[in-house]
Amino acid sequence: MARRKKIYEGKAKILYEGPEPGTLVQYFKDDATAFNNVKKDVIDGKGVLNNRLSEYFMTGLNTVGVPTHFIRRLNMREQLVRSCEIIPLEVIVRNYAAGTMAKRLGMEEGVQLPRPIVEYCLKDDKLGDPLVTEEHIAAFGWASQQDMDDILSLALRVNDFMSGVMYGVGIKLIDFKIEVGRVFDGDFQRLVVADEISPDSCRLWDIETDRKLDKDVFRRDLGSLTDAYTEVARRLGVMPKGATSMAKPKLIN
């Protein structure tokens, strides 16, 4: 059997050439990393959960008219996506103070913000994804003014959708990160939500107890990451029936 072509390998995912032009296969690994790769581990089943959860959120976004790169899930760890040109920015939306913003501004985590705050970081691992302003983005040509208007609108629509969905299952959406890609339809181009939306890229707290159900469980050693992600999947009803074991299939000799 011919080996498929690997296009890109990141910390948590691999992109392979897709079956048709303009498509890619996005494979979710079990690798967990934090603090720009300083902390690393392999968490059995994380890739399976994130594949399912990202499918759930991206499908919902597509349904309510927020365009994404997602086409369909292929199997436990892979999904078919549209190939796009990734804008080199991490777009962060915050509803409550937490993480780097709480630290930077000396705020207590969990304080509700007066309105959603959107931040941009340059996607550059070597530099540790530094926070940048729209001035930097315009001056260095990382995105045009039209792109920035579209990115802001996409980010806020994702925030409204995700906040509502999570609220419905008793979870506060503290903050999240998205990536945005450019797709070409003939002579036209448009921006779509790309990469993944999962507990790896969101902060999710239980409304009643403030229990963390996201990657901070790994970053801060707060217990089992699989349990936290499974709880999110269970509440949303996206756990595959009978898929209690997330272990990888074993080779039979």
* One-letter amino acid for residue 154 of the chain: L
Q: 178 - beta bridge partners? A: 91
Q: Single out the residue of 4, 182, 179 nearest to residue 82, CA to CA.
A: 182
The beta-strand segments (E) located in 153-221 are 171-185, 188-194, 202-206
176 binds ligand C5P (CB under 6 A): yes
Q: Single out the residue of 70, 65, 73 nearest to residue 84, CA to CA.
A: 70
Q: Work out how close the CB of 110 gets to ligand C5P at its nearest, in angstroms, rounded to a whole number.
A: 13
Cα 231 to Cα 45, 111, 173, 225, distances in angstroms = 13, 24, 15, 10
Contact pick of 55, 150, 175, 231 for ligand C5P (by CB under 6 A): 175
Contact pick of 201, 228, 230, 236 for ligand C5P (by CB under 6 A): 201
DSSP helix/strand/coil, 139 = helix
Residue count, binding to ligand C5P (CB under 6 A): 14
100 binds ligand C5P (CB under 6 A): yes
Whole-angstrom distance, CA of residue 157 vs CA of residue 176:
13
Tokens read off for 64: 């309510």
Q: Are 44 and 30 in contact (CB under 8 A)?
A: yes
Q: Point out which span in 46-54, 135-143, 201-209, 234-242 binds ligand C5P (CB under 6 A).
A: 201-209
Q: Point out which span in 15-23, 48-56, 179-187, 196-204 binds ligand C5P (CB under 6 A).
A: 196-204
Comparing CB distances to ligand C5P, the nearer of 101 and 166 is 101
Contact pick of 69, 172, 177, 212 for ligand C5P (by CB under 6 A): 177
Q: Point out which span in 17-25, 142-150, 171-179, 223-231 binds ligand C5P (CB under 6 A).
A: 171-179
Whole-angstrom distance, CA of residue 23 vs CA of residue 19:
7
202 binds ligand C5P (CB under 6 A): yes
Q: Work out how close the CB of 11 gets to ligand C5P at its nearest, in angstroms, rounded to a whole number.
A: 9
Comparing CB distances to ligand C5P, the nearer of 30 and 90 is 90
List interacting residues with ligand C5P (CB under 6 A): 90, 92, 98-101, 129, 175-177, 201-203, 215
